Structure 1
Amino acid sequence: MPAPRRRSRPRAKIVERPVEQLLGEALVWTDGACKGNPGPGGWAAIVVPADGGEPLEYSGGDPATTNNRMEYTAALEGMRSLPAGSRVCIVTDSQLMLNSMTRWITGWKRKGWKTASGDPVKNQDLVMALDSEVGRHETVRWHWVRGHETGDGHAHKALNDRADRLAVAAAAAAA
């Protein structure tokens, strides 16, 4: 007789909202890209300063990596570019990174960096570095936007598209 199937909870649909930059808060638009997975990868972070100054663009690559590692690296390097004690909003199109840093990390730490199934957390080095970097700032909030949407109806996330293009270019340069 087959084992009874576990009923899964219905997943809450993530609703996209335009990001609002709060007073005194830097926005960090992030993206990662990979040519093959694994393969040559690139990351990009576009930092919109809290004072409303010109956005600063950062990017880099790795000849042998994964897309998820590049997503985490983009957020990490964007936060590292800011002074300690900053108020930060990380804007990402990666639900993995969003969930990692807002839903799962507390349990992972409690379980000794193991997942619910007992496996080691993937990309643990970067998740731990991000957790440490979060602690260096006054506040960090995470905001999700749907990626790869352009045009007039999506002008509010032009910096997501720009971060994507920078990450793709960094991946090509790393190849």
Structure 2
Amino acid sequence: MGLDKIIIYCDGGCRGNQSDNNIGGWGAHLQYRDHKKELYGGVRDTTNNKMELTACIKALEAVHGNKSIPIEIYCDSAYVVNGMNSWVRGWIKNGWVNSKKKPVENQDLWKKLLFLSSTHENVKFIKVKGHADDEGNIRADELANLAMDNETGN
């Protein structure tokens, strides 16, 4: 058997992203060897970016046990992947102020995701193309949509 690792696909979405009365949802599909776990949830009055971050947070919160097993998080959100792989170092150095000299949005979620990532020895964030033919990404999207459907009663 090859390298042991936990594979996580995360997705978030928001219907009516720019309105005051919107529905958000997130989904995560986790796999370790033959074990699979699916998580999802919905909220009102949120943003797409918050849902993308929440999916990753909830997925990492669900990982228990050996902290040395590598984790690969696949996400179609450039916001999350670029944030964790690059931007976050500058934000920390600059006191959570972005390149436009404004406070970083969703700081609470970024800090929580950063903390959860740091509790494992090896977490990688990998960008995947959204709505393509990646089975794990498609499932995470389905879970996020299921959460939004549940929130609206559809």
TM-score (norm: length of structure 2): 0.90
**Percent of matched pairs sharing the same residue:** 35
How far apart are the structure 1 equivalents of 2:103 and 2:145?
29
Alignment match, 1:103 = 86
How far apart are the structure 1 equivalents of 2:128 and 2:150?
26
Alignment match, 2:119 = 136
1:76 aligns with 2:76: no
In the alignment of these two chains, the number of paired residues is 146
Alignment match, 2:35 = 54
Alignment match, 1:11 = none
TM-score (norm: length of structure 1): 0.80
> Are the counterparts in 2 of residues 35 and 172 from structure 1 also a CA contact under 8 Å?
no
The 3-state SS of whatever aligns with 1:163 is helix
State the AA in 1 paired with 2:114: D
Alignment match, 2:23 = 40
How far apart are the structure 1 equivalents of 2:90 and 2:151?
35
CA RMSD of aligned residues (A): 1.2
How far apart are the structure 2 equivalents of 1:54 and 1:43?
21
Alignment match, 1:19 = none
Task: Could you tell me which runs of 5 or more consecutive residues in structure 2 were left unpaired when the two chains were aligned.
Answer: none
The 3-state SS of whatever aligns with 1:113 is coil
The 3-state SS of whatever aligns with 1:82 is coil
How far apart are the structure 1 equivalents of 2:44 and 2:102?
27
Q: Residue deviations 1:99-141, cap 9 Å, x none?
A: 0001100000011100011101111110000000011111101
Alignment match, 2:101 = 118
Alignment match, 1:172 = 149
State the AA in 2 paired with 1:112: G
Cα deviation for residue 142 of structure 1 reads 1.1
State the AA in 1 paired with 2:17: N
State the AA in 1 paired with 2:146: A
Alignment match, 2:48 = 67
Cα deviation for residue 54 of structure 1 reads 3.2
How far apart are the structure 1 equivalents of 2:84 and 2:151?
27
1:143-154 alignment runs, 5 A limit: 143-149=126-132, 154=133
1:160 aligns with 2:140: no
The 3-state SS of whatever aligns with 1:159 is helix
Cα deviation for residue 172 of structure 1 reads 2.1
How far apart are the structure 1 equivalents of 2:135 and 2:113?
25
